[in-house]
Amino acid sequence: MTIAKKLEILTDAAKYDVACTSSGGDRSGGRLGKTMPAGCCHSFAADGRCISLLKVLMTNVCCYDCRYCVNRSSNDLPRAMFTPRELADLTMDFYRRNYIEGLFLSSSVVRDPDYTTERMADALAILREEYGFSGYIHAKAIPGADPALTQRLGRLADRLSVNIELPSSRSLALLAPDKARDDIFRPMEQIRDGILAYKADKVKYRHTPSFAPAGQSTQMIVGASDETDRHILKLSEEMYRTYGLKRVFFSAYVPVAESPLLPSPLDFKPPLLREHRLYQSDWLLRFYHFRADELLTPDRPNLDLRLDPKCNWAMNHLEEFPVEVNTADYRTLLRVPGIGPIGARRILAARRWRSLDYDSLKKLGIVLKRAQYFVTCGGRMTPGLRTRPEGILRALTALEAPAIAPQYEQMSLFSS
Amino acid sequence: MSTWPQCAFSYDGSFAGFLTCVGESFRCREYPFYFLPPGAEQISLYPLRPIQTDRALAKAVYAALEEVVSESFRRMITYSFLTCLPQRERHIYDVVHLGLTHALPQDPTDDRILILTRAIRYLTREAEHYKGFVRFSDYGGVLVGQIEPKNRVLPLLRPHFCQRMPEEAFLLHDKVHREGLFYADRKWKIRPVETLDLDRPDQAELECRALWRRFYETIAIRERYNPKCRMTHLPKRFWGEMTEFQDDPA
C-alpha cells in the first residue's frame, strides 16, 4: 500500500477526534521545532475546524466493537497501519514546510492495548530521540495499557488524553460494551499523578525528564445518548477539578453506524449548535468564574439554544444589572454579556485616566451590541434603548439569528 | 500642537531615515507635516526638504525614545513603522513629538495614541496569521516561502521561524514590500529582493505537496461542511500562497 493511501485511510479514521489544539507547551532546544504557549492554527478545513496538528491514527485495525465508532471491528472498511518510521518521516516532512505544528497520534486497538501503545511510543521515540524533534505532540493514552508504557508515552508527548467517550457509565455500558468506566479513569488518574510528580520534581531537579508538560485533556460525544446539558457540564467541571484537565472537548455525534441503540442516521443531523453552546459554557467555567450550577438548574437542565449561555444567565438574573462600567470590579465586568477578559482589562486600564462614556468604550474595542443592555456609563444607559425584559430578549435572539436560522428545525428535535 | 513652523521632508523610506528626520526636525525646530518616501509623488504646499539618512543621528534618536520616555514607547514607535497605516510617518511623528517634548498622554482612548495601537494590533494579528499560514517548499535543501502581507511582518516572523528551524536554511519572501528574510548557519538577514524566479520543484517536493493536499481534503467532516466558518478564520487573501489550495504544474 502506498503511503498516500495509508495517509488517506488513517486520516479519514481520525477526523472525528476533536482536540486539534497545540497550546500549553513550551518546548524548544531540539534540532527542529518549538512549541508556542498559545498554540498555532496552520489551516482550516472545509468544515471550518482548525488544522494545527497532523491528526492520524497509528492504525484503524481494531479489536473492539463500539457501536458509535467508525472503526468498530464489525464495520466493513479499508484498514491500514503506519510503521513508526513512516509516521515519523511524514511528520518531519510536513513540519519543515510549516504545514503543521506537530503530531496528534491516536490509534485503534490492534492486538491489545500494550502492543498498540508500544508502536505509538516507538514512532514518538524516533521523532524525539533520533530526529531531535521538539514540535508539539499530542498522544492518546490507550485504556487498559500497562502503566509503564503509558509512562513512556507521557515522557515523549506534550499532551496526553484519554477519551471518556460518553458522558455516563450507563451510556458507556450500552454503546461501548468492551470499555469499562474504570478502564478509562485509571489512566486518567495515572496521567494526573505523573504530571503532578513531574511538576514537583522540576522544582527540585533541573534535568527532570518531562511528563506531558502541556497537560491532559479528554473528549466526549454529545447527542448519541440522552444525557442533559447540565449533566455534561457538571461532569466537565468535576473533571477539571479532580483530574486537573486542561480541556474537555465535545464532539457532536455524526452518524457513522446503524444500531437500534443509536439515533437513526436517516433523519439525524449532528447537533452542531448544541455543541457550540456547550463550548461557550465550557469557556464560562474556565475563564469567567462561572459554576455549572449557576448556568443550569435541575428544573432547566438544558441550554437555551436561541441565546448564548452568558446572555441566558444574564436574562435570568436581571436584578444584578445594569452594571456601572466606571466602578464595577473585574469579576462583575466579566459577567456582562459582550465583555470578555480582554475587554474587562482594557476598561480597568482606561478607567485610571478618565471616566468612560459609550464613545470611549467603542474606542477601546468593546462591542456594545449585547453589552449595551447590561451596562451604564456615568449612570446612564444608551438613550432610546428598549429595556423591558421582553424587548431585550427579542433583540438578543435577533443577534443570534444567522447562527440559528438554518439549524433551528433540527435543534427542536433535541430540546424537547 | 507645536508652535514650530511646518515643513515637509523627503527621505529614503527606511526606519533609520525616518529617525534621521525626527532628529533633523528637532535640530531645526521644524514640524514636518508631510513625509515623502521615494517613489511617491505628491505636490506639497510646504517647503520640501530632502533628508540624508545619518546612521549616528538615527541611533541617538532611537536611544532617546527609550531614555526620555520608555522601552514600551520605543517598541510602539518601531512597530508602528512596520504597519500599513496610511501616512504612518506623520501619525508616528505626532506621537514621537508629544513623547519627546510633553508628557505622553496615558489615556488609551486618546485619538493620537489610538490610531497607532490599532494599526499595531492589525500588524501583530497579521503576523500571527502568517506564523501558521506560511508554506515552505524544499528547493534542493533550501526552504523557500512567499507571502503577500499588508504590513511588513518579516521582522516579527523572524524570531519565530529562526527559533523553530535552527538547522535549516530558508528564505521567506515578502512579494508586496519586496524584501526577504534569509537564514542559514544560524545567521539571519532581511534584505531587499526585487523578483524571485523559482525552478520547477523536484519530484520529492511535489509528492510531499500531494500528500498534504490529500490530508487536507480528508480531514474535513462532510456532515459539518461550513465554508463560511472557514472563510472567517482563513480569509481568501491567504489562499493564493498556500499549498492546500494550489494545483501543481503537470
In this prediction, residue A407 carries a pLDDT of 45
3-state SS assignment for residue A400: helix
> Is A49 in Cβ contact with B220 (below 8 Å)?
yes
Residue A288 forms contact with B (CB below 8 Å): no
In this prediction, residue A414 carries a pLDDT of 46
In this prediction, residue A23 carries a pLDDT of 84
The mean predicted confidence, pLDDT, of chain B is 92
Q: Are residues A331 and A213 in the same domain?
A: no
Q: Are residues A217 and A348 in the same domain?
A: no
**A10 within 8 A of A104, measured Cβ to Cβ:** no
Q: Are residues A272 and A405 in the same domain?
A: no
CA-nearest of A356, A292, A306, A366 to A336 is: A366
Q: How far is A58 from chain B (nearest CA, A)?
A: 15
| CA–CA gap between residue A280 and residue A223 (Å, rounded) | 17
Say what percent of chain A tops pLDDT 90: 64
CA-nearest of B89, B229, B60, B59 to A44 is: B229
Q: DSSP character for A142?
A: P
Q: Are residues A134 and A246 in the same domain?
A: yes
How much is the pTM? Answer: 0.91
In this prediction, residue A411 carries a pLDDT of 45
Residue A363 forms contact with B (CB below 8 Å): yes
- Which has more confidence, A177 or A405? A177
In a domain, A300, yes or no: no
Find where cell 527609550 sits.
B66
Q: Hey, of A26, A44, A359, which one would you mutate to test binding to chain B, going by the most B CBs within 10 A of its CB?
A: A44
Task: Residue B132: list chain A partners with CB under 8 A.
Answer: 40-43, 52, 98, 101
> Is A270 in Cβ contact with B224 (below 8 Å)?
yes
Residue A105 dihedral angles phi and psi, to the nearest 5°: -115, 120
In a domain, A50, yes or no: yes
Q: Are residues A233 and A335 in the same domain?
A: no
User: pLDDT tens-digit profile of B150-168?
Assistant: 999 999 999 999 999 999 9
**B123 within 8 A of B117, measured Cβ to Cβ:** no
Q: Hey, of A52, A98, A104, A377, which one would you mutate to test binding to chain B, going by the most B CBs within 10 A of its CB?
A: A98
Q: Are residues A37 and A137 in the same domain?
A: yes
User: pLDDT tens-digit profile of A373-398?
Assistant: 999 998 888 888 877 888 888 888 88
| CA–CA gap between residue B146 and residue B149 (Å, rounded) | 10
Over range A82-91, report the average pLDDT. Answer: 97
In a domain, A301, yes or no: no
- Which residues, numbered 177 to 236 in chain A, qualify as contacts with chain B under a Cβ-Cβ cut-off of 8 Å? none
Q: How far is A114 from chain B (nearest CA, A)?
A: 27
* Domain extent for A191: 3-256+267-295
Nearest to A51 among B208, B219, B222 (CB): B219
In this prediction, residue B126 carries a pLDDT of 97
Instruction: Give the total number of structural domains in chain A.
Output: 2
Q: Are residues A236 and A196 in the same domain?
A: yes
Q: Are residues A240 and A326 in the same domain?
A: no
Residue A139: which CATH number?
3.20.20
Residue A168 pLDDT level (bands cut at 50, 70, 90): confident
Q: Are residues A391 and A338 in the same domain?
A: yes
Residue A275 forms contact with B (CB below 8 Å): no
What is the C-alpha end-to-end distance of chain B, expressed in Å? Answer: 62
Q: Are residues A323 and A281 in the same domain?
A: no
In this prediction, residue A179 carries a pLDDT of 77
CB pairs < 8 Å spanning A and B:
140
Grid coordinates given for B44: 506639497
In a domain, A303, yes or no: no
Q: Are residues A288 and A315 in the same domain?
A: no
Q: Are residues A107 and A39 in the same domain?
A: yes
Over range A79-88, report the average pLDDT. Answer: 96
Over range A271-278, report the average pLDDT. Answer: 92
The CA dihedral of A375, A379, A383, A388, to the nearest 10 degrees, is 60
* Residue in chain A lying closest to B112 (CA): A363
User: pLDDT tens-digit profile of A204-241?
Assistant: 888 888 899 999 999 999 988 889 999 999 999 999 99
**B97 within 8 A of B69, measured Cβ to Cβ:** no
Grid coordinates given for A10: 488513517
Residue B249 pLDDT level (bands cut at 50, 70, 90): low
